[in-house]
Amino acid sequence: MRVVVTGAEGQLGKDVVKVFEQAGHELLPTDRNTLDITDQEMCLRVVRQFQPDIVIHCAAYTAVDQAEQDVDMAYAVNATGTRNMVLAAEQVKAKFCYISTDYVFDGTSDVPYQEYDNTNPQSIYGKSKRAGEQLVQSLSSSFFIVRTSWVYGQYGHNFVKTMLRLGEEKPALQVVNDQKGSPTYTVDLATFLLELVATQKFGTYHVSNLGECTWYEFAQAIFAEAADIRGKGFTVKVEPCSTEEFPRPAPRPSNSVMDHLSIRTNGLQDLRPWREGLRAFLEEMKDEL
């Protein structure tokens, strides 16, 4: 397959490029320096020149708190930029894969969210990502919308790396224990995308590593697994706290757990449990632990 990847320098994008190249596909990795997705003519030109079979759209405005003030830019990237890439993909009859988020839900459900549940985003980030979904659904004739959550990987900033750094710097940490979700390892997500986009099983998918935990439980697991791998424990004391104790500009969903209904009903291979994904990531990073 010939594949255009937007946001190829990002946390997920880098692993998508790596996984797809290892599988023998021909890639055009793009980032903000080589492709301004808010420039419609540029999107059309780049996609027409490469003639991809699939566009994997990882590029996004992801600064959740900053988006509350930077509303126009969040929509320019997540909505208008997505529309531009969809229209370019349609011009060359390419499939379109849009990476979305658990933030399209309000997080108040007592049970995991399924793909066809009503969305109700509460933050500008969530609303702008949902706008991107709607544009994909209305403009693309062959699309995959992939909602994921709590993403971490080798590249970029993420919760796992932050915990490991703070675990060496601080005697005690407070971590929120009333928000739950499913941590997702970028390599596992990229590997799933490799399988998904080769099919005609279009639609909306919830994709995360299996199982659920709170941020506090995630932090405990990070320190336990890292200590086991490096053969030395952490002295940091991890304490649970509430969301109210850590107010942020953008509201966070208290329940980000997503049910993988589409993966099951389409007969696709689900991701491994989140703790196994975490262990694999830390094994990759063991020289830095």
Which tens digits make up the pLDDT trace of 206-261?
999 999 999 999 999 999 999 999 999 899 999 999 999 988 999 999 999 999 99
pLDDT value of residue 230: 92
| Among 144, 131, 126, 146, residue whose Cα is nearest residue 62 | 126
Single out the catalytic residue among 125, 152, 205, 216: 125
pTM of the predicted structure, to 2 decimals: 0.97
H-type helices in 156-271, by residue range? 159-169, 186-196, 215-230, 261-265
Q: Locate the domains of the chain by residue range.
A: 2-158+182-211+256-273
Q: Alpha-carbon distance 192 to 73, whole Å?
A: 30
CATH no., domain 2-158+182-211+256-273: 3.40.50.720
Q: Is 75 a catalytic residue?
A: no
| Among 115, 53, 61, residue whose Cα is nearest residue 250 | 61
Burial class of residue 44 (count of CB atoms within 10 Å of its CB; 0-12, 13-18, 19+): middle
pLDDT value of residue 247: 87
pLDDT value of residue 79: 98
Task: Kindly give the parts of the chain with pLDDT less than 70.
Answer: none
The Cβ of residue 111 has, within 10 Å, a number of other Cβ atoms equal to 9
Q: What is the residue whose two structure tokens read 């389409």?
A: 266
Residues forming beta bridges with residue 18, ordered by sequence position: none
Q: Alpha-carbon distance 35 to 22, whole Å?
A: 24
Helix axes 186-196, 11-22, angle to 10 degrees: 50
